[in-house]
């Protein structure tokens, strides 16, 4: 500290500096250290705490981590499954269509076979009847009911005129018909004959054993009219139009006809006849 104050004093007092007295160092006196007293260590008895067992907890199951590197494979599998399902549906549809076409073809074949069998049976019956007629040419002819409406027919007609109906049907294409009848309105007895051609033969699926031929023809009429006790002859041209009901396996022909008649003698007159009739056919 003296060394510190000395410059300050010199600065305040401009007197010549006096030589500083030599510093004397006092010897350091070491105090004897007190002896360390060690206290005996007291050992406390160790207290053992009971161990508490904590319940074991199960770790939750680890969720599978989707593998983002394989996302293309499931997509490809799904596309393949959809394509397979589409192919299976198309195959099933094609199989159903083929089955339907097969069924329709079978039905058509059965219908054609049935029609062919019917026609063959009719042809066989006609051939048998013709063979029987040829075999009986040397002796008396036997009259018997036919198997179908073909051959000679005999029946009745009701209307204008009313009387006995006659017929001859060699086949389905044409027939001859006639009558011996009485016209009650005109008080005349007449005989007429017609030649008829089949215009169309109608078939109905609801009645497979029947056919409905529509015929038209031309014929002649001869009559004797009674007027005031006198008999007046008449002659004219008939133009019949008829609808028939023909069973395939019964020798019967039912008909309804409308007949315009052009009388040419003794005067020219146009009249209309209409009748309903039935004929039974014999071989």
pLDDT in tens, 192-235: 999 999 999 988 888 888 889 999 999 999 999 887 778 889 99
pLDDT of residue 15 exceeding 50, the answer is: no
Percentage of the chain lying above the pLDDT 90 cut: 35
- What pLDDT is recorded for position 24? 47
Domains of the chain in start order, with CATH, are: 151-282 (2.40.160.20)
**Out of 9-13, 204-208, 222-226, 262-266, which region has the weakest mean confidence (pLDDT)?**
9-13
pLDDT in tens, 135-189: 665 555 555 665 567 889 999 999 999 999 999 998 889 999 999 999 888 788 9
Q: What is the DSSP string of the chain?
A: -HHHHHHHHHHH--SPPPPPPPP-PPPPPPPPPPPPPPPPPPPPPPPPPPPPPPPPPPPPPPPPPP-GGGSHHHHHHHHHHHHHHHHHHHHHHHHHHHHHHHHHHHHHHHHHHHHHHHHHHHHHHHHHHHHHHHHTTTSPPPP-B-SSS-EEEEEEEEEESEEEEEEEESSSSEEEEEEEEEETTTTEEEEEEEEEEEEEEEEETTEEEEEEEEEEEEEEEEEEEEETTEEEEEEEEE--EEEEEEESSS-EEEEEEEEEEEEEESS-EEEEEEEEEEEEEE-
- What pLDDT is recorded for position 16? 47
- What pLDDT is recorded for position 260? 96
* Position with higher pLDDT, 39 vs 268: 268
pLDDT of residue 272 exceeding 90, the answer is: yes
**Out of 38-42, 158-162, 260-264, which region has the weakest mean confidence (pLDDT)?**
38-42
pLDDT of residue 7 exceeding 60, the answer is: no
């Amino acid at each position: 500290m003296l060394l510190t104050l000395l410059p300050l004093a010199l600065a305040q007092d401009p007197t010549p500096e006096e030589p500083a007295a030599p510093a004397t160092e006092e010897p350091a006196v070491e105090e004897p250290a007190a002896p360390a007293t060690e206290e005996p260590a007291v050992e406390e008895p160790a207290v053992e705490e009971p161990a508490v067992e904590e319940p074991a907890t199960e770790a939750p199951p680890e969720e599978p981590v989707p593998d983002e590197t394989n996302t293309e494979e499931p997509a490809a599998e799904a596309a393949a499954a959809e394509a397979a399902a589409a192919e299976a549906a198309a195959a099933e549809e094609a199989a159903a269509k083929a089955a339907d076409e097969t069924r329709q073809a079978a039905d058509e074949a059965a219908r054609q076979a049935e029609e062919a069998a019917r026609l063959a049976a009719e042809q066989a019956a006609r051939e048998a009847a013709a063979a029987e007629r040829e075999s009986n040419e040397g002796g008396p002819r036997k009259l018997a009911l036919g198997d179908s409406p073909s051959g000679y027919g005999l029946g009745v007609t009701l209307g204008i005129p009313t009387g006995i109906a006659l017929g001859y049907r060699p086949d389905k294409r044409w027939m001859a018909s006639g009558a011996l009848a009485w016209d009650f309105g005109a008080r005349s007895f007449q005989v007429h004959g017609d030649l008829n051609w089949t215009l169309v033969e109608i078939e109905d699926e609801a009645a497979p054993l029947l056919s409905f031929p529509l015929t038209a023809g031309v014929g002649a009429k001869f009559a004797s009219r009674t007027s005031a006790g006198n008999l007046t002859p008449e002659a004219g041209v008939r133009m019949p139009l008829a609808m028939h009901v023909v069973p395939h396996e019964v020798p019967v022909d039912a008909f309804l006809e409308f007949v315009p008649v052009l009388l040419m003698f003794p005067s020219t007159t146009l009249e209309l006849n209409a009748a309903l009739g039935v004929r039974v056919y014999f071989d």
